[in-house]
Amino acid sequence: MFAFYLLQMKVIDHINQSKDTLISFEILPPLKGKGIQSLYQHLDPLMEFKPSFINVTYHRSEHVFKKNPDESFQKVIVRKRPGTESICAAIMNHYSVDTVPHLICGGFNVNETEDALINLHYLGIDNVLVLRGDAAKNETAFLPESGGHKYASDLLKQVVDLNSGIYLEEELKNTSQTKFCIGVAGYPEKHFEAPNMESDLHYLKMKVDMGADYIVTQMFFDNEKFYAFVKSCRDIGITVPIIPGLKPVYTKKQLTMLPKVFHIDLPLALSTEIMKCKTDDDVEKVGTEWLLEQSRELKKFGVPVLHYYTLGRPNIIADVVKELV
């Protein structure tokens, strides 16, 4: 006899059924070779906060050059963090918590995407965060896979179609409909490729009009930017929930790395405090305090969910969240 304890829920149902601000986490699959236990060690200290869902990022393959014994180089394809879909299933099984796999356009053709969605459907995973993905490491701009999607909105259409039972083979009859709840990305400080905020918001609205259920934002460190973003979204008729993405600062190096990689600003008050720090332990204290203040304010503002990027520092997230509950 099988016992199945998890009542799977969509992110949008978690939000609609709660009067309070919820908590959720984002994790990365472990580096290849590490094993799933390393992930459980990362998540264990966070599970006491009863996250409503856990997102698992997707990492496409990279081309790297490997040195041969004769000193020549060989181009090989490596996938450093495989396993997004199966990790989602494993986490659901291990902790009885809903999971949200990230799905990207890069590196997939539409048939592979359909297969991935069918696998998720079979696994009982009804949530996806639909993204374009960034350019591959060796490319300067994003290039879609041959026969793949160019924008997140194209991928979103494929998920929406599957939710209506429309598969790529149109002649299939009496098809099963998937029931994915779809999240998309939004950028309070504008996506770096967008010529201006208006254009970026136009395409964000397009994703929502096409069927996205909610938006999760890129990290930001100045809540005023988030509030302005929410207002701009509401002004152009985006009504779906907007979930803030939050990350702690814990090293001095991040002062330059975060703006470079994620195209975001750190407020002067935060960067000034970090510059005064003598060690990264001091930076961690400043970063933790900043994240706590940000979280408290956002909760007061009434955000539906506080979504934490936990990469490498679950202890900081735990320190912050325990002060909120």
Binding site for ligand FAD (CB under 6 A): 57-58, 102, 104, 131-134, 151-153, 185, 191, 193-194, 199-200, 203, 216, 218, 245
CB of 272 to ligand FAD, least distance (A): 27
Helix locations, the chain, DSSP H: 11-16, 36-47, 84-95, 110-123, 152-163, 197-209, 223-235, 254-262, 268-276, 280-301, 314-324
- Helices (H), ranges, 100-167: 110-123, 152-163
Q: How far is the CB of 205 from ligand FAD (least distance, A)?
A: 10
* Pair of tokens at residue 195: 């010529």
Smallest distance from ligand FAD to CB 3, Å: 32
Q: In terms of CB distance, is 133 or 148 closer to ligand FAD?
A: 133
**In sequence order, what are the residues at sequence separation of 6 or more whose Cβ sits closer than 8 angstroms to the Cβ of residue 263?**
189, 190, 191, 192
Question: Residue 234 CB: number of other CB atoms within 10 A?
Answer: 11
Q: Do the Cβ atoms of 304 and 22 come closer than 8 Å?
A: yes
Minimal distance in Å, beta carbon 215 to ligand FAD? 9
Residue with Cβ nearer ligand FAD (187 or 290)? 187
Minimum distance, C-beta of residue 243 to ligand FAD, in the bound complex (Å): 8
Residue among 80, 34, 74 nearest 60 (CA): 80
- Decide whether 27 or 162 has the Cβ nearer to ligand FAD: 27
Question: Shortest Cβ distance from residue 101 to ligand FAD (Å)?
Answer: 9
Nearer residue to ligand FAD within complex by CB, 207 or 313? 207
Q: How many CB atoms lie within 10 A of CB 174?
A: 5
Nearer to ligand FAD by Cβ, of 199 and 272: the residue is 199
In this complex, which beta carbon is closest to ligand FAD, that of residue 10 or of residue 102?
102
